Amino acid sequence: EASARGVFICISPWNFPLAIFTGQIAAALVTGNSVIAKPADQTPLVAARAVELMHSAGVPSGVLALAPGSGAGIGAALCASPGVDGVCFTGSIATAQRIDRSLAASNPNARLIAETGGLNAMIVDSTALHEQAVRDIVDSAFRSAGQRCSALRLLYVQEDVAEDLLKMLYGSMKEL
């Protein structure tokens, strides 16, 4: 069961500047927390407009604040603040580890929710439709230049269908 903890810092990535930004904020707000939203360095205008719309929809400015700026500057300072009760972060493992160390030093009771990507796998067996599998493999692994947390990283193909499927996949990759 979720319960309010206090002040959450929401640090979002550049690759989904609205979806992840607003999702982090909404999750923190609906569980009763105040939010300081720190967008990616590259996306402050999208973030500013999103916060403006949330304020105009009724989210009090005292409950949601925008803190644009560099991760090394603003982000690091926010995470080192003893008044922070939690951080919601999407980005690299190295940055999540720095945030974790910073929170441990400044407020050991603060929570870190870090989404740092994954090793997402697809299994293709003999029942799979090769055309559909190849389309989904290419879309997941290569669209958005692979810059999605949900991007395909591991492909397992049943041996007796591997040769035909891989031939189709290589052709599709060549076209892309």
Q: Which are the catalytic amino acids?
A: 115, 149
Given a contact cutoff of 8 angstroms between Cβ atoms, the answer to whether 88 and 28 are in contact is yes
Distances from the Cα of 72 to the Cα of 39, 61, 68, 75, 77, angstroms: 13, 25, 12, 6, 8
- Cα 122 to chain centroid distance, Å, stands at 20
Any idea what DSSP says for residue 55?
A: H
Q: How far apart are CA 141 and CA 77, in angstroms?
A: 35
Task: Provide the edge-to-edge strand list for the sheet that holds 111-115.
Answer: 64-66, 34-38, 7-11, 86-90, 111-115
Given a contact cutoff of 8 angstroms between Cβ atoms, the answer to whether 91 and 56 are in contact is no
Q: How far apart are CA 41 and CA 76, in angstroms?
A: 13
Q: How far apart are CA 3 and CA 9, in angstroms?
A: 16
